[in-house]
Protein backbone atom coordinates (compact mmCIF):
# COMPACT_ATOMS: atom_id res chain seq x y z
CA UNK A 1 0.00 0.00 0.00
CA UNK A 2 1.22 3.52 -0.80
CA UNK A 3 2.36 5.25 2.39
CA UNK A 4 0.90 8.50 0.98
CA UNK A 5 -2.62 7.03 0.79
CA UNK A 6 -3.57 8.60 4.13
CA UNK A 7 -2.52 12.00 2.77
CA UNK A 8 -4.71 11.70 -0.32
CA UNK A 9 -7.63 10.34 1.71
CA UNK A 10 -7.53 13.11 4.34
CA UNK A 11 -10.26 15.63 3.46
CA UNK A 12 -10.90 17.52 6.71
CA UNK A 13 -8.91 20.67 5.92
CA UNK A 14 -10.31 20.81 2.36
CA UNK A 15 -13.85 20.60 3.72
CA UNK A 16 -13.29 23.46 6.17
CA UNK A 17 -11.63 25.56 3.44
CA UNK A 18 -14.57 24.95 1.16
CA UNK A 19 -16.96 26.17 3.86
CA UNK A 20 -15.06 29.46 4.14
CA UNK A 21 -14.28 28.83 7.82
CA UNK A 22 -10.62 27.76 7.66
CA UNK A 23 -8.88 29.79 10.42
CA UNK A 24 -5.18 28.98 9.96
CA UNK A 25 -2.10 30.36 8.17
CA UNK A 26 -3.29 33.94 7.76
CA UNK A 27 -0.62 36.02 6.01
CA UNK A 28 1.07 38.54 8.31
CA UNK A 29 2.57 41.56 6.54
CA UNK A 30 3.98 43.65 9.39
CA UNK A 31 5.86 43.45 12.66
CA UNK A 32 4.46 41.44 15.57
CA UNK A 33 2.83 44.27 17.52
CA UNK A 34 -0.43 45.14 19.28
CA UNK A 35 -1.79 45.97 15.81
CA UNK A 36 -0.67 44.20 12.65
CA UNK A 37 -1.37 44.20 8.95
CA UNK A 38 -2.76 40.79 8.11
CA UNK A 39 -4.01 40.02 4.60
CA UNK A 40 -4.01 43.70 3.74
CA UNK A 41 -5.99 45.02 6.70
CA UNK A 42 -5.36 46.35 10.18
CA UNK A 43 -6.10 43.80 12.91
CA UNK A 44 -5.80 44.18 16.65
CA UNK A 45 -3.52 41.32 17.69
CA UNK A 46 -4.98 39.23 20.52
CA UNK A 47 -3.29 36.02 19.44
CA UNK A 48 0.41 36.53 20.07
CA UNK A 49 2.78 35.27 22.78
CA UNK A 50 4.77 38.51 22.57
CA UNK A 51 3.81 39.17 26.18
CA UNK A 52 6.15 42.08 26.90
CA UNK A 53 5.92 43.61 23.43
CA UNK A 54 9.68 43.42 22.94
CA UNK A 55 9.63 42.30 19.29
CA UNK A 56 9.62 45.98 18.31
CA UNK A 57 11.74 47.37 21.16
CA UNK A 58 14.45 49.46 19.40
CA UNK A 59 17.37 48.22 21.50
CA UNK A 60 16.29 44.60 21.07
CA UNK A 61 15.92 44.96 17.30
CA UNK A 62 19.30 46.73 17.10
CA UNK A 63 20.99 43.85 18.94
CA UNK A 64 19.83 41.43 16.26
CA UNK A 65 21.01 43.67 13.43
CA UNK A 66 24.46 44.13 15.00
CA UNK A 67 24.80 40.39 15.60
CA UNK A 68 24.22 39.63 11.92
CA UNK A 69 26.74 42.28 10.95
CA UNK A 70 29.35 40.82 13.30
CA UNK A 71 28.74 37.06 13.09
CA UNK A 72 26.83 36.59 9.83
CA UNK A 73 23.54 34.79 9.49
CA UNK A 74 24.30 31.43 11.08
CA UNK A 75 26.86 29.13 12.65
CA UNK A 76 26.50 26.23 10.20
CA UNK A 77 27.22 23.62 12.82
CA UNK A 78 26.42 22.01 16.13
CA UNK A 79 27.33 23.57 19.45
CA UNK A 80 29.42 20.43 19.98
CA UNK A 81 31.71 21.34 17.11
CA UNK A 82 32.02 24.70 15.35
CA UNK A 83 28.74 26.26 16.51
CA UNK A 84 29.48 27.75 19.95
CA UNK A 85 29.70 31.55 19.92
CA UNK A 86 30.72 33.79 22.79
CA UNK A 87 27.13 35.05 22.50
CA UNK A 88 25.75 31.60 23.41
CA UNK A 89 27.93 31.40 26.50
CA UNK A 90 27.07 34.93 27.54
CA UNK A 91 23.35 34.25 27.12
CA UNK A 92 23.56 31.02 29.13
CA UNK A 93 25.45 32.69 31.95
CA UNK A 94 22.93 35.52 32.22
CA UNK A 95 19.91 33.19 32.09
CA UNK A 96 21.39 31.11 34.91
CA UNK A 97 22.08 34.21 36.97
CA UNK A 98 18.62 35.66 36.33
CA UNK A 99 16.94 32.44 37.44
CA UNK A 100 19.27 31.78 40.36
CA UNK A 101 20.62 28.49 38.98
CA UNK A 102 24.21 27.27 38.63
CA UNK A 103 24.19 26.85 34.85
CA UNK A 104 22.07 27.02 31.71
CA UNK A 105 22.06 25.53 28.23
CA UNK A 106 20.39 26.94 25.11
CA UNK A 107 18.57 25.05 22.36
CA UNK A 108 17.40 26.04 18.88
CA UNK A 109 13.69 26.05 19.79
CA UNK A 110 11.47 25.58 22.82
CA UNK A 111 10.13 22.33 21.36
CA UNK A 112 13.68 21.07 20.92
CA UNK A 113 14.46 22.07 24.52
CA UNK A 114 11.79 19.84 26.03
CA UNK A 115 12.57 17.02 23.62
CA UNK A 116 16.27 17.31 24.39
CA UNK A 117 16.09 17.68 28.18
CA UNK A 118 13.60 14.92 28.90
CA UNK A 119 15.06 12.39 26.47
CA UNK A 120 18.53 12.91 27.95
CA UNK A 121 17.49 12.59 31.59
CA UNK A 122 14.81 9.89 31.48
CA UNK A 123 16.44 6.52 30.87
CA UNK A 124 15.16 3.01 30.31
CA UNK A 125 14.40 2.31 33.97
CA UNK A 126 13.11 5.79 34.79
CA UNK A 127 9.62 7.27 34.95
CA UNK A 128 8.38 10.65 33.74
CA UNK A 129 5.13 11.90 35.28
CA UNK A 130 3.18 14.54 33.32
CA UNK A 131 0.11 16.70 33.72
CA UNK A 132 -2.34 15.73 30.97
CA UNK A 133 -2.44 19.32 29.69
CA UNK A 134 1.33 19.66 29.34
CA UNK A 135 2.62 21.05 26.05
CA UNK A 136 3.05 18.69 23.09
CA UNK A 137 6.82 19.19 23.17
CA UNK A 138 6.94 17.63 26.64
CA UNK A 139 5.20 14.55 25.31
CA UNK A 140 7.61 14.48 22.37
CA UNK A 141 10.47 14.38 24.88
CA UNK A 142 8.78 11.52 26.71
CA UNK A 143 8.36 9.59 23.45
CA UNK A 144 12.00 10.18 22.52
CA UNK A 145 13.19 8.91 25.90
CA UNK A 146 13.41 5.25 26.87
CA UNK A 147 11.46 5.74 30.10
CA UNK A 148 7.89 5.00 31.11
CA UNK A 149 5.30 7.78 30.94
CA UNK A 150 2.58 8.23 33.56
CA UNK A 151 -0.02 11.00 33.16
CA UNK A 152 -2.13 12.59 35.89
CA UNK A 153 -5.36 14.56 35.56
CA UNK A 154 -4.86 18.27 35.04
CA UNK A 155 -3.74 19.95 38.28
CA UNK A 156 -5.11 16.94 40.20
CA UNK A 157 -2.72 16.46 43.06
CA UNK A 158 -4.29 13.25 44.33
CA UNK A 159 -3.81 11.72 40.88
CA UNK A 160 -0.20 12.94 40.81
CA UNK A 161 0.43 11.18 44.13
CA UNK A 162 -1.23 8.02 42.80
CA UNK A 163 1.07 8.06 39.75
CA UNK A 164 4.15 8.49 41.93
CA UNK A 165 2.98 5.63 44.14
CA UNK A 166 3.32 3.38 41.07
CA UNK A 167 7.01 4.17 40.58
CA UNK A 168 9.24 1.35 41.94
CA UNK A 169 11.66 2.40 44.67
CA UNK A 170 14.69 1.53 42.54
CA UNK A 171 13.60 3.71 39.59
CA UNK A 172 14.18 7.40 39.02
CA UNK A 173 11.23 9.77 38.58
CA UNK A 174 10.92 13.19 36.97
CA UNK A 175 7.70 15.19 37.44
CA UNK A 176 7.20 17.59 34.51
CA UNK A 177 4.59 20.36 34.56
CA UNK A 178 3.83 23.54 32.69
CA UNK A 179 4.10 26.61 34.91
CA UNK A 180 1.39 28.42 32.96
CA UNK A 181 -0.67 26.14 30.74
CA UNK A 182 -0.62 27.49 27.21
CA UNK A 183 -4.24 26.91 26.19
CA UNK A 184 -6.19 27.48 29.40
CA UNK A 185 -3.90 30.12 30.89
CA UNK A 186 -4.15 28.56 34.35
CA UNK A 187 -1.20 28.10 36.69
CA UNK A 188 0.14 24.85 38.10
CA UNK A 189 -0.43 24.12 41.80
CA UNK A 190 3.31 24.15 42.31
CA UNK A 191 3.36 24.08 46.13
CA UNK A 192 1.51 20.76 46.08
CA UNK A 193 3.57 19.42 43.17
CA UNK A 194 6.72 20.15 45.16
CA UNK A 195 5.37 18.64 48.37
CA UNK A 196 4.20 15.44 46.71
CA UNK A 197 7.25 15.01 44.49
CA UNK A 198 9.67 15.54 47.37
CA UNK A 199 7.79 13.02 49.52
CA UNK A 200 8.30 10.44 46.75
CA UNK A 201 11.94 11.29 46.05
CA UNK A 202 11.14 12.61 42.57
CA UNK A 203 12.84 15.48 40.76
CA UNK A 204 10.82 18.42 39.39
CA UNK A 205 10.96 20.16 36.02
CA UNK A 206 8.84 23.23 35.22
CA UNK A 207 8.24 24.32 31.63
CA UNK A 208 7.95 28.09 32.10
CA UNK A 209 7.54 29.05 28.45
CA UNK A 210 4.45 31.08 29.35
CA UNK A 211 5.61 31.99 32.87
CA UNK A 212 8.88 33.82 32.18
CA UNK A 213 8.24 37.55 31.97
CA UNK A 214 4.71 36.97 33.28
CA UNK A 215 4.82 35.72 36.88
CA UNK A 216 7.14 36.08 39.84
CA UNK A 217 9.65 38.64 41.01
CA UNK A 218 10.78 40.67 37.99
CA UNK A 219 9.12 38.14 35.68
CA UNK A 220 11.31 35.24 36.82
CA UNK A 221 8.46 32.80 36.50
CA UNK A 222 6.10 30.46 38.27
CA UNK A 223 8.47 29.09 40.90
CA UNK A 224 9.41 32.62 41.97
CA UNK A 225 5.74 33.52 42.21
CA UNK A 226 5.36 30.82 44.85
CA UNK A 227 8.78 31.35 46.45
CA UNK A 228 9.81 27.84 45.40
CA UNK A 229 12.69 28.66 43.07
CA UNK A 230 15.09 26.59 45.19
CA UNK A 231 12.76 23.58 45.23
CA UNK A 232 12.41 23.20 41.45
CA UNK A 233 15.30 21.22 39.98
CA UNK A 234 14.98 22.21 36.33
CA UNK A 235 13.64 25.34 34.68
CA UNK A 236 12.86 25.10 30.99
CA UNK A 237 11.74 28.09 28.99
CA UNK A 238 11.62 29.70 25.57
CA UNK A 239 12.92 32.83 23.90
CA UNK A 240 9.99 33.02 21.48
CA UNK A 241 7.50 34.60 23.88
CA UNK A 242 8.48 37.24 26.45
CA UNK A 243 12.04 37.39 25.10
CA UNK A 244 10.96 38.16 21.53
CA UNK A 245 13.30 35.77 19.74
CA UNK A 246 13.53 32.06 18.97
CA UNK A 247 15.07 29.25 21.00
CA UNK A 248 14.85 27.72 24.43
CA UNK A 249 16.86 26.88 27.52
CA UNK A 250 17.51 24.58 30.44
CA UNK A 251 18.59 26.08 33.78
CA UNK A 252 19.58 24.00 36.78
CA UNK A 253 22.39 22.27 38.65
CA UNK A 254 25.72 22.53 36.80
CA UNK A 255 26.27 18.75 36.76
CA UNK A 256 22.78 18.15 35.38
CA UNK A 257 23.25 20.79 32.68
CA UNK A 258 26.61 19.30 31.71
CA UNK A 259 25.10 15.82 31.50
CA UNK A 260 22.37 17.06 29.15
CA UNK A 261 24.96 18.95 27.11
CA UNK A 262 26.77 15.66 26.44
CA UNK A 263 23.79 13.28 26.13
CA UNK A 264 20.94 15.19 24.47
CA UNK A 265 20.56 14.04 20.88
CA UNK A 266 18.36 17.01 19.85
CA UNK A 267 21.09 19.32 21.19
CA UNK A 268 24.14 17.47 19.88
CA UNK A 269 22.80 16.82 16.39
CA UNK A 270 21.28 20.24 15.65
CA UNK A 271 22.85 23.44 14.40
CA UNK A 272 23.25 26.06 17.09
CA UNK A 273 21.03 29.04 17.76
CA UNK A 274 21.66 31.67 15.03
CA UNK A 275 23.59 34.76 16.16
CA UNK A 276 20.70 37.20 15.73
CA UNK A 277 18.38 35.01 17.81
CA UNK A 278 20.92 34.70 20.60
CA UNK A 279 21.62 38.43 20.59
CA UNK A 280 17.94 39.37 20.60
CA UNK A 281 17.17 36.98 23.47
CA UNK A 282 20.07 38.40 25.46
CA UNK A 283 19.02 42.00 24.80
CA UNK A 284 15.41 41.19 25.74
CA UNK A 285 16.53 39.50 28.96
CA UNK A 286 18.59 42.56 29.88
CA UNK A 287 15.65 44.82 29.04
CA UNK A 288 13.40 42.78 31.31
CA UNK A 289 15.94 43.02 34.13
CA UNK A 290 16.16 46.78 33.66
CA UNK A 291 12.37 47.16 33.52
CA UNK A 292 10.78 44.97 36.21
CA UNK A 293 7.64 47.08 35.86
CA UNK A 294 6.85 45.36 32.53
CA UNK A 295 5.34 42.20 34.09
CA UNK A 296 3.29 44.44 36.38
CA UNK A 297 1.95 46.34 33.36
CA UNK A 298 1.18 43.01 31.67
CA UNK A 299 -0.81 41.85 34.69
CA UNK A 300 -2.72 45.15 34.77
CA UNK A 301 -3.62 45.02 31.08
CA UNK A 302 -4.67 41.37 31.39
CA UNK A 303 -6.90 42.18 34.33
CA UNK A 304 -8.40 45.08 32.36
CA UNK A 305 -9.31 42.63 29.59
CA UNK A 306 -10.83 40.14 32.05
CA UNK A 307 -13.02 42.81 33.57
CA UNK A 308 -13.98 44.03 30.09
CA UNK A 309 -15.24 40.60 29.01
CA UNK A 310 -17.15 40.08 32.25
CA UNK A 311 -18.74 43.53 32.00
CA UNK A 312 -20.03 42.58 28.52
CA UNK A 313 -21.46 39.29 29.74
CA UNK A 314 -18.88 37.03 28.07
CA UNK A 315 -17.94 33.87 29.95
CA UNK A 316 -14.20 33.36 30.34
CA UNK A 317 -12.32 30.34 31.59
CA UNK A 318 -10.95 31.25 35.00
CA UNK A 319 -7.68 29.92 36.38
CA UNK A 320 -8.34 27.18 38.91
CA UNK A 321 -6.03 28.90 41.39
CA UNK A 322 -7.27 32.42 40.64
CA UNK A 323 -3.89 33.64 39.36
CA UNK A 324 -4.30 36.03 36.43
CA UNK A 325 -2.17 35.44 33.34
CA UNK A 326 -2.21 37.12 29.90
CA UNK A 327 -4.00 34.10 28.40
CA UNK A 328 -7.79 34.50 28.55
CA UNK A 329 -9.85 31.70 26.97
CA UNK A 330 -13.44 32.39 25.86
CA UNK A 331 -15.77 29.42 25.58
CA UNK A 332 -17.35 28.70 22.20
CA UNK A 333 -18.02 25.03 23.05
CA UNK A 334 -18.28 23.49 19.56
CA UNK A 335 -15.83 23.42 16.67
CA UNK A 336 -18.42 24.92 14.31
CA UNK A 337 -19.11 27.85 16.65
CA UNK A 338 -15.38 28.38 17.07
CA UNK A 339 -14.77 28.51 13.31
CA UNK A 340 -17.65 30.94 12.89
CA UNK A 341 -16.48 33.18 15.73
CA UNK A 342 -12.88 33.33 14.52
CA UNK A 343 -13.98 34.19 10.97
CA UNK A 344 -16.33 36.96 12.07
CA UNK A 345 -13.89 38.44 14.59
CA UNK A 346 -11.17 38.44 11.93
CA UNK A 347 -13.46 40.14 9.41
CA UNK A 348 -14.13 42.88 11.95
CA UNK A 349 -10.46 43.58 12.60
CA UNK A 350 -9.36 41.37 15.52
CA UNK A 351 -7.11 38.33 15.44
CA UNK A 352 -7.61 35.53 18.02
CA UNK A 353 -6.63 31.84 18.11
CA UNK A 354 -9.12 28.96 17.77
CA UNK A 355 -8.57 26.03 20.14
CA UNK A 356 -10.35 22.81 19.25
CA UNK A 357 -10.33 19.16 20.39
CA UNK A 358 -8.01 17.38 21.04
CA UNK A 359 -6.32 20.51 22.45
CA UNK A 360 -9.48 20.88 24.59
CA UNK A 361 -12.00 18.29 25.78
CA UNK A 362 -15.00 17.69 23.51
CA UNK A 363 -17.63 20.38 24.06
CA UNK A 364 -15.10 22.87 25.47
CA UNK A 365 -13.72 24.48 22.31
CA UNK A 366 -12.67 28.08 22.84
CA UNK A 367 -11.06 31.24 21.55
CA UNK A 368 -7.63 31.79 23.06
CA UNK A 369 -6.95 35.49 23.53
CA UNK A 370 -3.58 36.73 24.79
CA UNK A 371 -2.25 40.15 25.74
CA UNK A 372 0.86 42.30 25.70
CA UNK A 373 2.22 44.80 28.16
CA UNK A 374 2.20 47.29 25.27
CA UNK A 375 -1.53 47.02 24.54
CA UNK A 376 -3.47 50.23 25.13
CA UNK A 377 -6.78 50.17 26.96
CA UNK A 378 -8.46 51.80 23.97
CA UNK A 379 -7.32 48.94 21.75
CA UNK A 380 -8.74 46.41 24.18
CA UNK A 381 -12.06 48.25 24.41
CA UNK A 382 -12.36 48.14 20.63
CA UNK A 383 -11.36 44.47 20.39
CA UNK A 384 -13.56 43.31 23.28
CA UNK A 385 -16.56 45.11 21.79
CA UNK A 386 -15.97 43.24 18.52
CA UNK A 387 -15.58 39.86 20.22
CA UNK A 388 -18.58 40.37 22.49
CA UNK A 389 -20.73 41.34 19.51
CA UNK A 390 -19.71 38.22 17.61
CA UNK A 391 -20.13 35.90 20.59
CA UNK A 392 -23.67 37.12 21.16
CA UNK A 393 -24.53 36.45 17.50
CA UNK A 394 -23.40 32.81 17.60
CA UNK A 395 -26.16 30.21 17.30
CA UNK A 396 -26.94 28.69 20.68
- pLDDT at position 216: 96
What ranges do the domains of the chain cover? Answer: 5-51+292-393, 58-290
Q: List pLDDT tens digits, range 151-162.
A: 999 999 999 999
Instruction: Check whether 319 has a pLDDT greater than 90.
Output: no
Instruction: Check whether 358 has a pLDDT greater than 90.
Output: no
Q: List pLDDT tens digits, range 267-292.
A: 999 999 999 999 999 999 999 999 99
- pLDDT at position 276: 98
Q: Across the chain, what does the average pLDDT equal?
A: 96
- Three-class secondary structure assignment of the chain: CCCCHHHHHCCHHHHHHHCCCCCCCCCECCCCCCEEEECCEEEEECCCCCCCCHHHCHHHHHHHHHHHHHHCCCCCCECCCCCCCHHHHHHHHHHHHHHCCCEEEEECCHHHHHHHHHHHHCCCCCEEEEECCCCHHHHHHHHHCCCEEEEECCCCHHHHHHHHHCCCCCCCEEEEEECECCCCCCECCHHHHHHHHHHCCCEEEEECCCCCCCCCHHHCCHHHHHCCCCCCCEEEEECCCCCCCCCEEEEECHHHHHHHHHHCHHHHCCECCCHHHHHHHHHHHHHHHHCCHHHHHHHHHHHHHHHHHHHCCCCECCCCCCCCCCEEEEEEECHHHHHHHHHHHHHCCEECEEECCCCCCCCCEEEEEECCCCCCHHHHHHHHHHHHHHHHHCCC
Q: How confident is the model at residue 323 (pLDDT cuts 50, 70, 90)?
A: confident
Summarize the confidence of residues 169-176 as an average pLDDT: 97
**Lowest mean pLDDT across 64-68, 172-176, 392-396:** 392-396
Instruction: Check whether 324 has a pLDDT greater than 90.
Output: no
- pLDDT at position 155: 95
Catalytic residues: 182, 210, 241
Q: List pLDDT tens digits, range 222-270.
A: 999 999 999 999 999 999 999 999 999 999 999 999 999 999 999 999 9
Q: List pLDDT tens digits, range 90-115.
A: 999 999 999 999 999 999 999 999 99
Q: Which CATH number fits domain 5-51+292-393: 3.90.1150.10, 3.20.20.80, 3.40.50.620, 1.10.10.10?
A: 3.90.1150.10
Summarize the confidence of residues 26-55 as an average pLDDT: 97
What is the Cα–Cα distance from 302 to 373, expressed in whole angstroms?
8
CA-nearest of 284, 312, 285, 298 to 383 is 312
Q: List pLDDT tens digits, range 328-355.
A: 999 999 999 999 999 999 999 999 999 9
Predicted model pTM: 0.95
Summarize the confidence of residues 286-308 as an average pLDDT: 97
Instruction: Check whether 396 has a pLDDT greater than 80.
Output: no
- % of the chain with per-residue pLDDT over 90: 94
**CATH code of the domain occupying 58-290:** 3.40.640.10
Q: List pLDDT tens digits, range 190-205.
A: 999 999 999 999 999 9
Instruction: Check whether 320 has a pLDDT greater than 70.
Output: no
Domain 5-51+292-393 shares a fold with domain 58-290? no
Amino acid sequence: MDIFKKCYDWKEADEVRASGLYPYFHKLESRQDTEVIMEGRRRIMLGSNNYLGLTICPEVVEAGVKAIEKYGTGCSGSRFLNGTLDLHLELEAEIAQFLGKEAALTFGTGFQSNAGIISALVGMHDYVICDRENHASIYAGCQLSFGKLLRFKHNDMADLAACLDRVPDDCGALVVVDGVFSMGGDVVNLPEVVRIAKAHGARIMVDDAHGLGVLGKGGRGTAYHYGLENEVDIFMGTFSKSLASLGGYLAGNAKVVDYVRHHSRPFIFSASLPPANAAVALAALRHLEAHPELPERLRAISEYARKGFKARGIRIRESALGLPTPIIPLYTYTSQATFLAVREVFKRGVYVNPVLPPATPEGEALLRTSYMATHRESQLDEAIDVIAGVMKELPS
